[in-house]
Structure 1
């Protein structure tokens, strides 16, 4: 299957594939949802296990009631054990501590400073120090994984597979006990009946893997059958969660990501055109049904106040704070104020890590967004733009940018997509293409017949 980078190559159709390379690709291809060309030879398959353990750690321990009651202490033991196992396994894979420079992980490391300064005041209790230790171990694991951040889609596939497995557990719970999966407590919205997951969590996971899989299809990195296996059930689960933030993030993120490919990819242009036509038809023919789904039975006043979130935000901003709390916050907590969830990443970071934390989180988006804009059009750039824009949109009504969370994992995948190949990630024995060697090769090829070069 043709590579996206070949499709974007100027000057005509892509060159014919090398039969030897095609055979090697077919021999090492790893199947499953979102499968495509295999990871580079320098990326062990065990890295996917590490990523899966990080995903398990960020699932959280609070949510809906499950079919089989799970003590919160047991869930916390499993999630924290997953993080310790992820760090240990990553350390075993990278015993020489070979890491590559990453502005994203560096900013997360700096975020530990205000977190630790504020948490040592113990205003949020001893749990704040525990959360600092968790964040430190989380960031250390990302540092160890940077060795394999090479600008490829390896971590995109890991991301899709892991969250598809999580959604599989949600679907299984809905089939086993529909009543527990869509309780009245959540207004009939889909929740996790086997593992305590809330509707916004499920909507987030579904939206992210839908967007990434669509981009892989446009980039010809997976076939349509494999993509349909991921997209169709994920769309159904997203619709059952009635999650507006995830839906808007998915749509806007895809528009921005596909828009970055429109000028260079015919497949992206066709998809964009058909999507616009379908959206117009749906808006005209199903306007009433879409409005009912979007309102979720809420009044206009409740929708305007963002389901009561605005009241919590106003109270948080009006609360008196000392200079130290303004600068460094009150310490890592459970992202709540006055016993109510904050549900805004920026206000949660301001509350727990102060203006120092807000500045560092803003720097994360500025750095990743700036690098993405400077990259030439490619599939990796489009996936990164989707993830960055989705996290930016979701940050308005969901918390998680200041602590170990799925949002930091989404942005970590974006950082891996924007990284450039290095000697640490290149295949053994493969020389790196530098400007000098590239120009010499091009000069030599001028004296070689075209049939020999092809």
Structure 2
């Protein structure tokens, strides 16, 4: 998207952010057109994280950081992660995941120097995830059958890079919401925004991802609501969106219901596609005092071989009640700071990201480990940061003021 005014962060910051995005794409998903060994994918994603850390460190050799509650609490989350993983109950992979989380948090600390409340990282976020969605669209064009397999109920998956429908839906929903807000804040033109929004919404519809759709609608409602009193464009958009929703509900109600149910039975729908059974089993499992407080160690967010698909229960299982308290504090602190800020575009984008992550946390895991959800919250933290003071070493030198010399007697006369 063509920015009108970006922050003053150097170009390598966007590259480092893109590498963080690559690291959080994961290695499990649909079958790709060209088979990619999982070990190769993990090597690429971990290499991206190491490269992001190195790039951020080289660009910030003096280690100048912007201290804040978000990064402080995220660093504290390493404590229960290490304590629980040190017992090796989840194997040596738990310690490896701890090291990955530590490197991830360290990179965020180094990049925090450029968190100044501007939409700089919003633009990096949109560009990176739009590129990821570009690979999904390209795969759907090259091999439509493989991109919408029966294994996933005909939902869109990534076949160039293994991506699941919930992942694609999440990325599409987030960049759609942020692009809409940039248009309302007049930080980009409608044409540039349409290039992002239209294909992203099309991909979201093809994934049939209910969580992402609800998160997008609720997040935008809250974000635009925060701008209604100060922005005429936000008021017009809000009224137009309400009218469009009413027309769609009347004219396309049955089609929307069919899309939402995805052909599931009532029992399957009420049990959240089987998630509730896993949650009940996890909560009923016996735990020692140590496991209750610090969890069983960082794992693959599964229980009994089945995905947990709930951020709070995944954190409870892997990092215990200590981890749950820290993650809750992160969300509450960011939300509280956003509510205390005066109305602005940055505040609206932060509200959208925080509310989206809070809604998605009910059916998606990721708030307790290196994941796109932590990147979303990091962008929110960058938007809520106070503008940094000018760096005296980076500021241009001011020319000396010339003092006029006294005139000679001959010049006066």
Q: Normalised by the size of structure 2, how large is the TM-score?
A: 0.95
1:354 equivalent to 2:335? Answer no
Confirm or deny that 1:76 pairs with 2:38.
Answer: no
CA positional deviation for 1:193:
0.7
Partner of residue 49, structure 1: 15
Q: How far does the alpha carbon of each residue in 1:268-318 deviate from its partner, in whole angstroms, 9 at most, with x for none? A: 000000000000000000000000000001011100000000000000000
Aligned twin of 1:217: 183
- Within 5 A, what are the aligned runs for 1:65-104? 65-104=31-70
Native 8 Å contact 2:157 2:165 kept in 1: yes
Residue 3 of structure 2 is matched in structure 1 by 36
Query: For 2:353 and 2:391, how far apart are their aligned partners in 1?
Result: 23
Candidates 286, 302, 313, aligned match of 2:252: 286
In 2: Cα distance, 1:427 partner to 1:248 partner: 47
Pairing 1:257–2:220 present: no
**Deviations 1:330-382 (CA, angstroms, capped at 9, x unpaired):** 00000000000000000000000000000000000111000000000000000
For each residue in 1:174-205, what CA deviation from the matched residue of structure 2 results, as whole angstroms up to 9, or x when unmatched?
A: 00000110000000000001000000000000
Q: How many residues align?
A: 397
Alignment deviations for residues 191-244 of structure 1 (CA, whole Å, 9 cap, x no partner): 001000000000000000000000000000000000000000000000000000
Distance in 2 between the 1:267 and 1:394 partners?
A: 28
- The answer to whether the 8 A contact 1:40-1:426 is kept is no
The alpha-carbon distance between structure 1 residues 313 and 430, as it changes in their structure 2 partners (threshold 3 A), is farther
Rounded Cα–Cα distance in structure 1 between residues aligned with 2:229 and 2:396 = 32
1:177 aligns with 2:143: yes
Q: Unaligned 5+ residue runs, structure 2?
A: 398-413
* 1:404-427 Cα deviation digits (max 9, x unpaired): 000000000000000001226799
1:159-188 CA-to-partner distances (Å, cap 9, x unmatched) read 000000000000000000001100000000
Question: 1:340 maps to what in 2?
Answer: 306
CA distance 1:211–1:359, shift in 2 (3 Å): same
1:266 to 209, 218, 232: 232
The partner residue of 1:245 within 197, 204, 211 is: 211
- Any runs of at least 4 consecutive aligned residues in structure 1 with deviations exceeding 6 A, and if so which? none
Aligned residues of 1:181 and 1:192 also touching (Cα < 8 A): yes
Q: Could you tell me whether the CA contact under 8 Å between 2:7 and 2:119 is conserved in 1? A: no
* Cα distance in 1 between the residues matched to 2:251 and 2:117: 42
* Secondary structure class of the residue paired with 1:205: helix
Instruction: Report if aligned partners of 1:368, 1:415 keep a CA contact under 8 Å in 2.
Output: yes
Q: 1:118 aligns with which of 84, 90, 107?
A: 84
CA–CA separation in structure 2 for the residues paired with 1:347 and 1:367: 20
Among 104, 124, 141, the alignment partner of 2:107 is 141
Alignment gaps of 5+ in structure 1: 1-32, 432-454
| 2: CA distance, partners of 1:147 / 1:376 | 23
Aligned to 1:197, what secondary structure does the other structure show? coil
Question: Which sits farther off after the overlay, 422-431 or 78-87?
Answer: 422-431
What residue number does 1:326 align with? Answer: 292
**Over residues 229-270 of structure 1, what are the superposed CA-to-partner deviations in whole Å (9 max), with x where a residue is unaligned?**
000000000000000000000000000000000011000000
CA distance in 2, matches of 1:266, 1:108: 37
CA distance in 2, matches of 1:217, 1:100: 28
TM-score, normalised to structure 1, is 0.86
User: Given the superposition, is the C-alpha separation of residues 426 and 394 from structure 1 closer, same or farther in structure 2, using an over 3 Å criterion?
Assistant: farther
Counterpart-to-counterpart distance in 1, 2:172 and 2:16: 21
Distance 1:125 1:214, change over 3 A: same
Q: Which residue in 1 is equivalent to 2:197?
A: 231
Residue 356 (structure 2) aligns with = 390
